[in-house]
Structure 1
Amino acid sequence: MPRFFFDIHSGSKFARDAVGSECAGMQGIRHEAMLVLPAIARDEIPKDGDKQAFTVLVRDGESRTVYTATLTFAGLWIGDSPIPKLEEDALS
């Protein structure tokens, strides 16, 4: 089974995968990227901001990028505005 390398870019950080993972075809690569992105985001979402993108670049054994995926975190403070009522709530 071929080995692929999952490099992670998160803001100003770039981590190159030196070990890699064996993946069975395109769906295996995609599945592995889907697992790694949330795991990285869980630990790396900045404590001092509300915007961050996490990108995985998947390389094959010859260092060619074969797949890329991005997960974005965007937080927004709403303030003191009350939550709008739904029409059915207003009728009650």
Structure 2
Amino acid sequence: MPKYYFDVENGHGHESDDIGSEHQTLESVGLHIGKILTDIARDEIPGTHSARIIVRARDEQGNHVGKGRLSFETEW
């Protein structure tokens, strides 16, 4: 099964995924991007007024295969 890597950018900088995870399809890769975004948002958004999180997926050859982005902002 192909392995994909999920790199994250957020307010704390850039984290490269050196471990990766196996996915049968690109649809599965996209769903995993969404899971990563929601997991990070749950941990980082409470207690902040704004956040921007980007997850980029790459295959074993380093080719970009997908991206997800989440932005959050409150005003009062």
Question: What is the TM-score when the length of structure 2 is the normalising length?
Answer: 0.89
For residues 58 and 27 of structure 2, what CA distance do their matches in structure 1 show?
15
Higher relative contact order (CA 8 A, sep 6+): 2
Q: How many residues are matched?
A: 76
Deviation at 1:12, TM superposition (A): 4.3
Query: Hey, what does 2:38 align to over in structure 1?
Result: 38
Amino acid at match of 1:44: E
Gap regions ≥5 residues in structure 1 = 78-92
1 or 2, which has the higher strand percentage? 2
- RMSD value, Cα: 1.4
Query: Hey, what does 2:2 align to over in structure 1?
Result: 2
Change (3 A) 1:26 1:7: same
Deviations 1:53-89 (A, max 9, x none): 1000001001111101101111112xxxxxxxxxxxx
Structure whose CA Rg is larger? 1
Kindly indicate whether residue 56 of structure 2 is the aligned counterpart of residue 57 of structure 1.
yes
Deviation at 1:24, TM superposition (A): 1.4
* 3-state SS, counterpart of residue 69 of structure 1: strand
For residues 36 and 16 of structure 2, what CA distance do their matches in structure 1 show?
13
Deviation >3 Å, runs of 4+: none
Question: What is the TM-score when the length of structure 1 is the normalising length?
Answer: 0.75
For residues 68 and 17 of structure 2, what CA distance do their matches in structure 1 show?
15
* 3-state SS, counterpart of residue 4 of structure 2: strand
Gap regions ≥5 residues in structure 2 = none
